[in-house]
A and B are shown apart, each in its own frame.
Chain A
Amino acid sequence: MIVGSQKSIDELWEMTKDFKKVLVFGCNTCVAICHAGGEKEAETIATLLRMRAAQEGKAMEVDFTSVMRHCEPEYFEPVLEDLKKYDLILSTACGVGVNFLSDRTGNIPVYPGINTSFYGAVEAPGVFVELCAGCGNCILHLTGGICPIARCSKTLMNGPCGGTNKGKCEISKDVDCAWYLIVERMKKLGTLEKLAEVQPPRNWSTSRDGGPRRVSLEHIRAFEEQEAGKSDPAGGKK
């Protein structure tokens, strides 16, 4: 899931202070699970903004609501007209949601209510860890299921480097060395000898280097386009 984290109220206030009517719009999936931007957090932010406005002597109306996801139109379309009654939508979705919504609210700005941090897992209640970098070319089968792209500070494909120290990374004693973990894991799996094979330089064009990425599924699009054609007056019956 996508993990987010809260922004300070000072930062949110700077963003919102010139608007009269603000909606804090929660997203009830990934960022709710990590307690950053679900309905509960949206309510907290709305309350804090109202209190801050009162402190600053500014008249500002701040409401909150939420939908399940900001990244699929079916979820927010039913409330789109309600959203347009506000001067500003402060979306507490991840950056995906903010972008996606922003393209669809006409002249109403959509601002980010949280920081989008990473793709992660719930290690323990309240602890979220980054485990994937979304590089677009998964090699976890080669590394014992532990990702060196996301978890090695240097993104090394042939580690560890000289900075490994008793299982920790040189950047911090609190950060595990991913390559130490890979070695230990592969020992356990009995596949350590695979590491003797040197990995060639990676093709980064599947990652950010290739510009914004897009996945389009032919089998689904073919059907959807056919359906769209049906509703076209020139395309036959509706």
Chain B
Amino acid sequence: MSGASTIEKKGSHRERAAALKETRPYSPCRAACPVNTDVQAYVGFIAQGRYNEAFEVIHSVNPIASVCSMICHHPCERACRRCGVDEPLAVRPLKRFALEQSTEYRRNKRHLIEKTKGKSVAVIGSGPSGLTSANDLADLGYQVTIYERHPVLGGMLAAAIPPYRLPREALKEDIDDVVSKGIEVRTGVEIGKDISLDEITSKHDAVLIAIGLSLSRSLNIPGVEGPGVLLAIPFLEDVAFDRKPDLGKKVLVIGGGNVAMDVARSARRLGVKEVEMVCLEGADEMPAWKWEVEEAVEEGITISHRWGPKAVRREDGRVKGLEVVKVLSVFDAERRFSPTFDNANTKLIEADTIIITIGQMSNISFLKDSKVKVDERGRVQWDPKTQMSSAPGVFVSGEVVTGPGSAIAAAASGHRSAMAIHLYLQGEQIEGSLPTYEKEKIADMPATVAEKIAREPRMKILHLEPEKRCNTFEAFEYGYDEEAALKEAGRCRGCGGGAVVDKNKCMACLTCQRICPYGAPVVTAWSEIRPEYCQACGLCAPECPGGAISMVSYDVREFRETLPAIVGSVDPNRKEPVIVAFLCTHHLGTAGFNLPDHVRKVPVHCTSRIDTNDLLKAFECGADGVAVVRCPGSSCKYKGIENRVAARVGQAKKLIGMLGMEAGRIELLTTDAESGSPYTAVCAGFADRIKQLGLRSK
């Protein structure tokens, strides 16, 4: 029996659409995310003002959502298909906005999870990977104990990432979520010192080692030993725990990666006026993110490229500077790191303090004499297919085994380990059963489609001015306000949320192929809607005579299922008419919807998705009038929808006329784009006209 019919009721339309989405290629943003966060889905919810639902989408795969909303390196943005049009969607700032808006909802949701499994798991380390595993295992009903050597949870997030980048309140929200599930927290406990691995192993049914990379690598150069030369992680720990080291007047940071940026920018915030970085790489070779470099330069930090450290020069034991040697090349022909130097070309860079930031490693000394084997290069031996170490029941995750990477990649590893531990404790096979995040993605946007898409600049992210932010460890990035967030969310092209054809209903009638402004459908034996062309406008679905087309996200038929709840009960003695207003959310202003209660709001991604049957349904639910409020044609994010929508409204007028109702009870209106509250006046005017027509008795 057909999926949309009223006689089959297998789950909500939303659930069916979500299942359908999993069978389709992922949007590139989602495929690029290490945990496959469904960006398109949550950005869609933001655009509709449904922030709590946006939170649910994010949080369902990412327990360190607030952390990521501040510091994620957002591979989603680089993958965004809008790159082929103008600029990528500002995904991370939108995530931050959604999380900030849903804080109360999130806090109210926290609750203890019953420990149904009767088994306990120790998680050593509480960085992104350990927290994620602890979260998942608690969800599965295990008793989880986290061991953390620092006085607070969070691993490097709490102990190394400077607070100007990751405000601790954001981290706290994520940690509180996890801890509220009933996790035992043992902070200030260092394995191998305060408690042995053997003891932990004997106390728990499984152990996860998620200790990350907590030791800084040093340099083997003359003069490196002694005061005035610091290592990155201890320095950042001092910053994180508010122990202000004396750095002198000038600091030189060795390294060109992201941790080097944290170190340099933190030194600047400790009041050091002159901070210089020296790295082997040229400006375009640096491993640090481009934006980190730009922000550091704005803060007055200078960078000396293509110099390698040769010796620390000292005078009376105190650091005088770093002797550096010119770099000829950093990589060999195979792009392997293999620097060469011009030994004849050296110079001295003066400094009072030198901070070495050339990489990290794990502190695995506690594994000595344990069953967990370490290879000849000092790496923990493990099987990536099972996340298990050489010791049965001892698992590993995150950077201790994967090497340096992003927080979200560590979280992905944490998900895998949690599932591995669960399968192990249930006596099930692990190999082949762990989540994978490599997914087929939608191809690049064809040029014929890209040229039809209106250019809309990305909403700017504002920062505290460089001179002000250098004096504080407070967050330097301002989040979006609602107006900016909604505008930015409106830029999403909805990749992966578009039209899908049910082959059991499609009779290859060509309607969709005739209608689509982007040439997405190709009809042969049935219609195939090519996802790389589809812009998820939704124009086709309401026109499909067989009801064969669904929109993967916020489908047309979803309105019809939710309309009875949106309209609610209609008071027979009401004074004001009940208006159902379908509102295009593309040009929502700061005032939000700002509509009185008798106007029942149905935010829509675009009015192109509204079916004649939706308009009828609104009346069936008791509306006195139905308004379709679209954005001005010139600013519509889609092509060629205006006349289609007008035709549907015209058809609905005719149909209600068959029931003796006035055609004026349905109107197609346009938002007042200039106004701060674009829906208020148009809806009020419509409500007045409906009042003139009178309230419906039935």
A interface list, Cβ under 8 A from B: 8-10, 23, 26, 28-29, 32-33, 35, 38-41, 43-44, 46-48, 50-52, 54-55, 57, 63-68, 78-79, 82, 122, 125
Closest to A79 in B: B1
Residues of chain A lying within 8 A (CB to CB) of residue B504: 68
- How far, in Å, is A11 (CB) from chain B's closest CB? 10
Q: A51-B619, A66-B2, A66-B505 are in contact. Are A9 and B511 (CB under 8 A)?
A: no
CB proximity to A under 8 Å, residues B491-515: 504-505, 507, 509-511, 514
CA distance A40 to B614 in the complex (A): 11
B546 within 8 A of A: yes
B598 within 8 A of A: no
Asked if A43 contacts B613 (CB within 8 A), the reply is: yes
CA distance A52 to B661 in the complex (A): 11
The 8 closest A-B pairs by CB, nearest first: A65-B5, A39-B547, A38-B545, A32-B545, A63-B6, A28-B546, A33-B509, A9-B658
Asked if B659 contacts A46 (CB within 8 A), the reply is: no
CB proximity to A under 8 Å, residues B12-41: none
Which of A23, A26, A51, A55 has the largest number of chain B CB atoms within 10 A? A51
Closest to A52 in B: B659
On chain B, the number of residues with a Cβ less than 8 Å from chain A's Cβ atoms is 32
CA distance A82 to B658 in the complex (A): 30
Residues of chain A lying within 8 A (CB to CB) of residue B509: 32-33
Closest to B4 in A: A39
B218 within 8 A of A: no
CA distance A9 to B504 in the complex (A): 29
CB proximity to A under 8 Å, residues B603-640: 611-613, 616-617, 619-620
Asked if A48 contacts B616 (CB within 8 A), the reply is: yes
Residues of chain A lying within 8 A (CB to CB) of residue B613: 40, 43-44, 47
Residue among B6, B8, B507, B617 making CB contact with A32, cutoff 8 Å: B507
CA distance A52 to B505 in the complex (A): 28
Asked if B659 contacts A48 (CB within 8 A), the reply is: yes
Besides A38-B547, A44-B616, A52-B659, 8 more A-B contacts (Cβ < 8 Å) are A32-B545, A40-B611, A47-B616, A65-B8, A67-B2, A68-B505, A78-B1, A125-B511
- How far, in Å, is B228 (CB) from chain A's closest CB? 77
Asked if A40 contacts B545 (CB within 8 A), the reply is: yes
- How far, in Å, is B476 (CB) from chain A's closest CB? 53
CA distance A127 to B5 in the complex (A): 27
CA distance A13 to B5 in the complex (A): 21
CA distance A47 to B507 in the complex (A): 24
CA distance A63 to B660 in the complex (A): 22
Asked if B616 contacts A68 (CB within 8 A), the reply is: no
- How far, in Å, is B569 (CB) from chain A's closest CB? 15
- How far, in Å, is A214 (CB) from chain B's closest CB? 26
B425 within 8 A of A: no
Asked if A51 contacts B620 (CB within 8 A), the reply is: yes
Ordered by A's residue number, 26 sampled pairs between the chains whose C-beta atoms are within 8 Å are A23-B7, A28-B548, A39-B2, A39-B4, A39-B5, A39-B547, A43-B5, A44-B616, A47-B613, A48-B616, A51-B619, A55-B698, A63-B5, A63-B7, A64-B5, A64-B6, A64-B7, A65-B1, A65-B5, A66-B2, A66-B546, A67-B2, A68-B504, A82-B7, A125-B511, A125-B514
CA distance A46 to B547 in the complex (A): 14
Residues of chain B lying within 8 A (CB to CB) of residue A43: 4-6, 547, 613
- How far, in Å, is A151 (CB) from chain B's closest CB? 24
CA distance A68 to B620 in the complex (A): 28
CA distance A10 to B660 in the complex (A): 11
CA distance A6 to B6 in the complex (A): 21
CA distance A33 to B544 in the complex (A): 9
B693 within 8 A of A: no
Q: A28-B505, A39-B4 are in contact. Are A47 and B617 (CB under 8 A)?
A: yes
- Chain B, interface SS category: loop
Q: Mark B258-278, 1 if CB is under 8 A from A, else 0.
A: 000000000000000000000
CA distance A11 to B590 in the complex (A): 50
Residues of chain A lying within 8 A (CB to CB) of residue B7: 23, 63-65, 82
- How far, in Å, is B542 (CB) from chain A's closest CB? 8
- How far, in Å, is B451 (CB) from chain A's closest CB? 25
Closest to B515 in A: A125
Residues of chain B lying within 8 A (CB to CB) of residue A23: 7
CA distance A64 to B698 in the complex (A): 22
Residues of chain A lying within 8 A (CB to CB) of residue B611: 40
Residue among B546, B659, B660 making CB contact with A38, cutoff 8 Å: B546
Asked if A46 contacts B6 (CB within 8 A), the reply is: yes
Residues of chain B lying within 8 A (CB to CB) of residue A65: 1-2, 5-8
B655 within 8 A of A: yes
Q: A32-B509, A55-B698 are in contact. Are A9 and B617 (CB under 8 A)?
A: no
CA distance A40 to B540 in the complex (A): 12
- How far, in Å, is B585 (CB) from chain A's closest CB? 25
CA distance A2 to B8 in the complex (A): 28
Asked if B619 contacts A32 (CB within 8 A), the reply is: no
Residues of chain B lying within 8 A (CB to CB) of residue A44: 612-613, 616, 655
Q: Mark B514-545, 1 if CB is under 8 A from A, else 0.
A: 10000000000000000000000000001011
CA distance A125 to B647 in the complex (A): 13
Closest to B613 in A: A43
Residues of chain A lying within 8 A (CB to CB) of residue B4: 39, 43
Asked if A40 contacts B547 (CB within 8 A), the reply is: yes
Which of A40, A41, A57, A65 has the largest number of chain B CB atoms within 10 A? A40
Asked if A50 contacts B620 (CB within 8 A), the reply is: yes
CA distance A50 to B655 in the complex (A): 13
Which of B5, B507, B510, B514 has the largest number of chain A CB atoms within 10 A? B5
- How far, in Å, is A113 (CB) from chain B's closest CB? 14
Closest to A61 in B: B6
Which of B546, B616, B617 has the largest number of chain A CB atoms within 10 A? B546
CA distance A181 to B5 in the complex (A): 45
Residues of chain A lying within 8 A (CB to CB) of residue B619: 51
CB proximity to A under 8 Å, residues B649-671: 655, 658-660
Asked if B546 contacts A39 (CB within 8 A), the reply is: yes
CA distance A74 to B542 in the complex (A): 28
CA distance A20 to B663 in the complex (A): 29
Residues of chain B lying within 8 A (CB to CB) of residue A78: 1
Closest to A23 in B: B7
Closest to B612 in A: A44
Asked if B545 contacts A48 (CB within 8 A), the reply is: no
Residues of chain A lying within 8 A (CB to CB) of residue B542: 40
CA distance A78 to B2 in the complex (A): 11
CA distance A54 to B611 in the complex (A): 22
CA distance A159 to B514 in the complex (A): 38
Q: A40-B546, A82-B1 are in contact. Are A28 and B507 (CB under 8 A)?
A: yes
CA distance A33 to B542 in the complex (A): 14
Closest to B506 in A: A28
- How far, in Å, is A33 (CB) from chain B's closest CB? 4
Closest to A55 in B: B698
CA distance A67 to B8 in the complex (A): 13
Closest to B542 in A: A40
CA distance A125 to B616 in the complex (A): 24
Asked if B658 contacts A48 (CB within 8 A), the reply is: yes
CA distance A67 to B509 in the complex (A): 15
CA distance A52 to B8 in the complex (A): 23
CA distance A78 to B8 in the complex (A): 13
- How far, in Å, is B656 (CB) from chain A's closest CB? 8
